[in-house]
Amino acid sequence: ELFEKKNYELRIAGGAVRDLLSGVTPQDIDFATTATPAEMKEMFTAAGVRLINNKGEKHGTITARLHEENFEITTLRIDVVTDGRHAEVEFTTDWHKDAERRDLTINSMFLGLDGTLYDFFNGYEDLKNKKIRFVGKAAERIQEDYLRILRYFRFYGRIAEKPGDHEPITLQAIKENAKGLAGISGERIWVELKKILLGNHVNHLVQLMYELDIAQYIGLPLAGNLEEFARVSKNIQTLSPKPMTVLTSLFKGKDDVTNLDLRLKISKEEKNLGLFLVKHRQELTKGSGPEPLRPYQDFLMDSREANTNSRIFELLKYQGEEQLLKEMQEWTVPSFPVSGHDLRKMGVSSGKEIGTALQQLRDEWKKSGYHMDKEELLSCLKKL
């Protein structure tokens, strides 16, 4: 109503339009408008609408707080200067020009609040046909922001029906511009890569990263273990893995984890998870007897490190052990039932003796599969 009163045009933009047309509820609804940031500020302030976070203002974005929700509204823009990472923009009232600067056809549509679709580059057609295409010339779009190479992969994994359905000219443009990714910050790359790793066709897309010379610029090992990656990624997606769990299958050793961290600045826990999986994926496997879960339970009980529990869950996902994962998640970690106080009551007095006795009892408890209770353990102490 506010925009209408002032004769400013307002439409839903980009990803939210794509989601609505796909029957998906958008996480965020972004708006585009012909009003400038200054005009929006004046209008919202006069109407008593709260504005928050003015960081996006120089790029044309105003965030309004209405009914306990934030709404991002961005002035239509054209890129004046691009350096392959960021753009300097100028405001415009031309919807076509704004659509022209967006990355992919499926992300370049606008939706009027009356339900009219504004689609300058056949984005709706591409969405229906599950085609991922750049707006205009692929090379030009990529050179405006090289991260768009990874955004192409991400949306391919999200929308495309089958692997290998790329336009040759697009792959050519990606290969010729892959080196541009070297100038993109690790943090931005990691955000996109994590989404690719959890999408569809991940094996095909990672293979393609090697074929198109992308891997070396985004922290992946030069000689990645593509065979292991194909094996692990095939069965893991239904188990809701962490992105790092999927990616670690590409690594041959801990140096690959360290190099990834140097390039992408991954979190400490992501790095530790990668190191854990590389170290234990072959040696910590299910037991051959009637208790296949025991090796994992013993490892957890012996560990003094935080997060061992969740790392073991990720290891079981990596190994494709769906049933064991379920059992491990349902297993309640037992508490050792005997204390030093119990031993003192039985006449064990010196600290050293108590320490030795507790360790012996802990070993017996472990042998019993953590089933022995306090009485059984204390009667066992007499024999020991």
The pLDDT tens digits of the residues spanning 287-332 come to: 888 889 999 999 999 998 889 999 999 999 999 999 999 999 999 9
Average pLDDT for 360-374: 91
pLDDT in tens, 257-272: 999 999 999 999 999 9
d(CA 155, CA 140): 19
| pLDDT for residue 240 | 96
- Residue 88 CB neighbour total at 10 angstroms: 12
Q: Which two tokens stand for residue 312?
A: 């073991």
H/E element, 325:
helix 322-330
pLDDT category, 275, cuts 50, 70, 90?
Answer: very high
Cα 291 to Cα 1, 25, 123, 285, 368, distances in angstroms: 66, 44, 55, 12, 12
| Residue 119, beta-bridge partner list | none
- Residue 185 CB neighbour total at 10 angstroms: 13
Q: Which residue has the tokens 């290891």?
A: 315
pLDDT in tens, 1-14: 999 999 999 999 99
pLDDT category, 346, cuts 50, 70, 90?
Answer: confident
**Which residue, 333, 335, 384, is CA-closest to 361?**
384
Spatial CB neighbours of 108, under 8 Å, sequence gap ≥ 6: 14, 99, 100, 102, 119, 120, 121, 123, 135
| Domains of the chain in sequence order | 1-128 (3.30.460.10), 130-218 (1.10.3090.10), 237-333 (1.10.3090.10), 340-383 (no CATH)
